[in-house]
Amino acid sequence: MSTNSRKKLLLMGRSGSGKSSMRSIIFSNYSAFDTRRLGATIDVEHSNLRFLNNMTLNLWDCGGQDVFIENFLNTSSQNPNSNNNIFKKCEVLLHVFDVESKEVNKDIEIFQRVLKNLHQFSPNVKVFILLHKMDLIQVNKRDELFKIMFDNLQKIANPFHFKLTGFATSIWDESLYKAWSSIICSLIPNISFYQQNLSKINDILNAREIILFEKTTFLVISSTDRKLITNNDELDPKRFEKISNIIKTYKQSVNKIRTNFETIILNGMNTSIYLAELTNNIFIMIVMDNQRNDDDSTAIEDENLILEDIKIARSLFEKVENV
Amino acid sequence: MEGHLIPDPTNENATILLMGLRRSGKSSICKVVFHKLQPLDTLYLESTSKPTTENFRSLINLSVIELPGQLNFFEPTYDHEKLFKSIGALVYIIDSQDEYLNALTNLSMIISYIYKVNPKINVEVLIHKIDGLSEDFRLDTQRDIMQRVGDELLDLGLEGLQVSFYLTSIFDHSIYEAFSRIIQKLIYELPALENLLDLLVQYNKFEKLFLFDVNSKIYVATDSSPVDIQTYEACAEFIDVTIDLDGLYGDVKDSDESKGNPTKCISRLQNGSVLYLHQMIRGLALVGLVRLDNTDQFSMEFKNALSLIDFNVNVFKKSLEDMWKNSRL
Ligand SMILES: Nc1nc2c(ncn2[C@@H]2O[C@H](COP(=O)(O)OP(=O)(O)OP(=O)(O)O)[C@@H](O)[C@H]2O)c(=O)[nH]1
Ligand SMILES: Nc1nc2c(ncn2[C@@H]2O[C@H](COP(=O)(O)OP(=O)(O)O)[C@@H](O)[C@H]2O)c(=O)[nH]1
Ligand SMILES: [Mg+2]
């Protein structure tokens, strides 16, 4: 019943800016440390990732050395209709800038030429820019640098009528997950269904927070919290991407004993956290406030209730996925 | 989960002393093991040029004494005799990537001195920074160092002294393993603890069980089955998962382990095992891998099996409390 839709995502940027590193971390379970082993990408590396049942993410990691970039641009202008024209039928451009780059002008010039081609061949493309390797910049200078660079790049994009979405990222912290999460969400057509159903579930559960994660990447695709009590404002605003990071690291850790995890149930200081598979493509995390009962048995009942609710939610979401 | 074990101040036998030449890696080890510094960040540690002492309080007291050179160490201003009398172990760090003959001379000088004031002391030698050596070369280095130290002790007439050697690096878990074994020697209750852990393993089909010091990821006791480094890592990292997730939704530092329910975390794995964590007293946590085969995680059997484990673990916790009440530590 579900039709498979392919979404082409171009990953571009100068050589060494960190494209293959982020791809390996998000999609291949590398640790940041592992990326040091990566060599320069030759031409284009394709990967196809099944995503939420009916989507395939078609990722083009484009080698950033000048020869390759010139080749992409030349092919496009000389044989615009050739299948080798990488700028055709793109859904998303993700352009990566190394914030420590020594050749800013050249970086910008290439960005401009890429936009020009996309304007011609994929005018509806969504453009994301990542100002990457932020870890190398002093903490108190990051915001300012981001603003200056972003404004500058938006000016470059204006003539082509692209509205940029930008993120400051680094493979050494969780910022990468936030950026990729929003990129992926922009590709999911029925994202509002997830949101609505999640709210419905929370009307019943009254959880402090419920979060949905895509299964292979552990990127957040939707979340909801209790509307009446606004105490979530005090929580760490980076918690979603931190969770992605924690769980991905955990995945690597159990991989070392040659297995994977299915669930996590944590009875913590203030909350109880349930993490389990919801559908074949989604994990759900439910965060409940602890009722501080001295009586252990009610806690067990609560737990059974939540596990039952996860089962019910499962059938609901399997329908959403097949819309 | 955070919490410090505060040893009884009247008993200092559990103190360990870290010594070694400059740049051997003492500060790095302390920062990585006790302050969670990333190993790579130790490159930026500043070297100190005069003797320094830093104290860490964990399961036991740890004093780090850093000596700049090898000679001005018996400085009259410092009461080394009193210090050496009060410690349980001397941990001496040798940089295996460097020319180590000077370090060996320094070590035997310290040993000959310390033996006079405290003959019962454990001497623990860390052959450190082995990440830079090839597999073959590691063993050669270890053999050479053990040989030389042995000869030296013979010359000094100290054959009776207990000296142990460990190959360590801050870039893997070898440093935690070494510290675990060093600290275990100083825990008077260890045999009793190990017995209890063996019982738990036997009754509950645990594959492996560790009693961890949560802060440092050193295990203070484990059951008698052999330690496999991957299992240790998975258990140690499970502590991080628990603390990190819990920390996002509550102020963990504020927590008091005597109040409320203890932190518990279980994670079901695809191979049928379950990672199990249960907070104990004094900054300790029991972490293990348990087999719960052929049971659906939503099934009653699974829950019953877990409740039984929880029950037994609570009994263990009670024994731990009793033990520590009467304990000198
Ligand atoms: N400090 C820091 N280094 C990073 C970061 N991201 C990637 N790197 C490092 O940058 C180097 C180059 O990364 P790659 O991912 O191979 O770069 P690329 O963009 O794929 O390069 P080409 O394939 O030649 O286009 C690697 O050694 C990474 O470890 C980051 O956020 N911070
Ligand atoms: N390769 C390697 N380097 C280490 C290791 N431990 C420490 N170092 C490095 O050794 C240097 C000196 O360490 P430091 O802790 O300052 O030595 P200290 O003077 O004994 O306190 C630092 O640059 C550390 O990064 C290790 O296990 N392997
Ligand atoms: Mg690449």
How confident is residue B257, by pLDDT bands cut at 50, 70 and 90? low
Residues B206 and B86 in one domain: no
Measured distance CA(A106)–CA(A114) in Å, rounded: 12
- According to the model, what pLDDT value does residue B210 have? 96
In a domain, B5, yes or no: no
For residue B242, give the chain A residue with the closest CA.
Answer: A266
Measured distance CA(B58)–CA(B218) in Å, rounded: 10
Domain count, chain B: 2
Q: How far is the CA of B150 from the centre of ligand 1 (A)?
A: 49
Task: State both tokens at B326.
Answer: 């009467």
CB contact under 8 A, B303 and A208: no
Residues B141 and B26 in one domain: yes
Quote the ipTM score. 0.82
Burial class from Cβ neighbours inside 10 Å (0-12, 13-18, 19+) for residue A162 reads: buried
In a domain, B97, yes or no: yes
Q: What global pTM score does this model have?
A: 0.83
Q: How far is the CA of A301 from the centre of ligand 3 (A)?
A: 51
CATH of residue B79 = 3.40.50.300
Residues B211 and B70 in one domain: no
Q: Which residue has the tokens 């207990």?
A: B162
- According to the model, what pLDDT value does residue B329 have? 45
Query: Most A CBs within 10 Å: which of B40, B207, B248, as the mutation test of the A interface?
Result: B248
- Residue of B19, B29, B42 best suited for mutating to test ligand 2, as the one with most atoms within 8 Å of CB: B42
Mean pLDDT of A187-192: 82
CATH of residue B227 = 3.30.450.190
Domain final residue pick, B142, B163, B184: B184
Structural domain of residue B219, as residue ranges? 190-327
Q: Which amino acid residue places its CA nearest to atom 32 of ligand 1?
A: A133
Mean pLDDT of B94-110: 90
Residue with more model confidence, A251 or B55: A251
**H or E element in which residue A116 lies:** helix A104-121
- According to the model, what pLDDT value does residue A174 have? 85
Percent of chain B, pLDDT > 70? 80
Measured distance CA(B210)–CA(B221) in Å, rounded: 6
Measured distance CA(B97)–CA(B137) in Å, rounded: 10
What string of DSSP letters covers B191-246? HHHHHHHHHHHHHHTEEEEEEEETTTTEEEEE-SSPP-HHHHHHHHHHHHHHHHHH
Q: Which amino acid residue places its CA nearest to atom 6 of ligand 2?
A: B25
Residue with more model confidence, A11 or A228: A11
In a domain, B87, yes or no: yes
In a domain, B7, yes or no: no
Q: How far is the CA of B102 from the centre of ligand 2 (A)?
A: 17
| Residues of A with Cβ-Cβ distance to B298 under 8 angstroms | 307, 311
- A274-291 tens-digit pLDDT: 999 888 888 999 998 876
Determine whether the shortest distance from the Cβ of B28 to ligand 2 is under 6 A: yes
Residues B30 and B76 in one domain: yes
How confident is residue B7, by pLDDT bands cut at 50, 70 and 90? very low
Mean pLDDT of A182-207: 85
Measured distance CA(B124)–CA(B116) in Å, rounded: 17
In a domain, B6, yes or no: no
Residues B159 and B56 in one domain: yes
How confident is residue B261, by pLDDT bands cut at 50, 70 and 90? confident
Q: Please say if the pLDDT value at position A135 is more than 90.
A: yes
In a domain, B316, yes or no: yes
Residues B280 and B257 in one domain: yes
- Lowest model confidence (mean pLDDT) among A17-21, A147-151, B291-295, B303-307: B291-295
How far B327 CA sits from the closest chain A CA (Å)? 28
Measured distance CA(B278)–CA(B284) in Å, rounded: 9
Residues B60 and B157 in one domain: yes
Q: Give all domains of chain A, ordered by start, each with its CATH number.
A: 5-185 (3.40.50.300), 191-321 (3.30.450.190)
- Lowest model confidence (mean pLDDT) among A27-41, A63-77, A116-130, B51-65: B51-65
- According to the model, what pLDDT value does residue A62 have? 93
Domain final residue pick, B129, B158, B184: B184
Q: Please say if the pLDDT value at position A225 is more than 80.
A: no
Determine whether the shortest distance from the Cβ of A21 to ligand 1 is under 6 A: yes
- A295-317 tens-digit pLDDT: 555 555 667 778 778 888 888 88
- B187-236 tens-digit pLDDT: 877 888 899 999 999 988 899 999 998 888 889 899 999 998 899 999 99
Q: Please say if the pLDDT value at position B253 is more than 60.
A: no
Residues B317 and B245 in one domain: yes
- According to the model, what pLDDT value does residue A115 have? 95
First to last CA, chain B: 20
Of A273, A287, A292, nearest to B260 by CB-CB distance is A292
How confident is residue A13, by pLDDT bands cut at 50, 70 and 90? very high
Residue with more model confidence, A302 or B41: B41
Residues B179 and B34 in one domain: yes
How confident is residue B77, by pLDDT bands cut at 50, 70 and 90? low
In a domain, B89, yes or no: yes
- According to the model, what pLDDT value does residue B252 have? 52
Residues B180 and B32 in one domain: yes
In a domain, B3, yes or no: no
Sign of CA dihedral A198, A203, A205, A207: positive
CB contact under 8 A, A264 and B266: yes
* Residue (of A318, A167, A141, A313) closest to A241 by Cα position: A167
List, in sequence order, every residue forming a beta bridge with B284; answer none if it has no partner. B213
**H or E element in which residue A286 lies:** strand A282-289
CB contact under 8 A, B298 and A260: no
Residues B35 and B178 in one domain: yes
Q: How far is the CA of A23 from the centre of ligand 1 (A)?
A: 10
What is the residue type of A114?
Answer: V
Residues B39 and B102 in one domain: yes
Domain final residue pick, B132, B151, B184: B184
